[in-house]
Amino acid sequence: MFKITNTWLDKNRTKRGGWTKKQAEILFVSWPLQKGWKSKVINHGITKIDRVNFESAAHITCKNKKESSVINLVRLEKEVFRLRLIISKANDVIENLKPYSVNQRKLVNEYFNGQ
């Protein structure tokens, strides 16, 4: 997790000194930005992928919907790739658990499922 700071928010403004709608969406802040929005997000954590997306969104201020759709498609493809890696790693863990007893696998499953 990445901790949001005022410095980081200010560092990732657009060329015109503001923030984009996409950046607000990433931080789950309503658009247009309202007074006091920064204090609501500072010291909260976001994922690494949201951090990267927030930082890159400062440089993408297109009004062209086709261009925006392509950008979103690229982001989705990156997210799918990331999720496939996670699934692959999870499958490796499952394969490594096969030699363990049923009780050991049950304990591991309960641990990961929060039961």
Measured CA angle at 69 (ends 58, 17), to 5 deg: 15
In this structure, the number of other CB atoms found within 10 A of the CB of residue 55 comes to 14
Q: What is the pLDDT of residues 90-114, one digit of tens each?
A: 888 877 776 666 677 677 778 888 6
pTM of the model: 0.54
Q: What pLDDT is stored for residue 104 in this prediction?
A: 74
Q: What is the pLDDT of residues 52-86, one digit of tens each?
A: 989 988 887 656 556 667 777 788 888 888 889 99
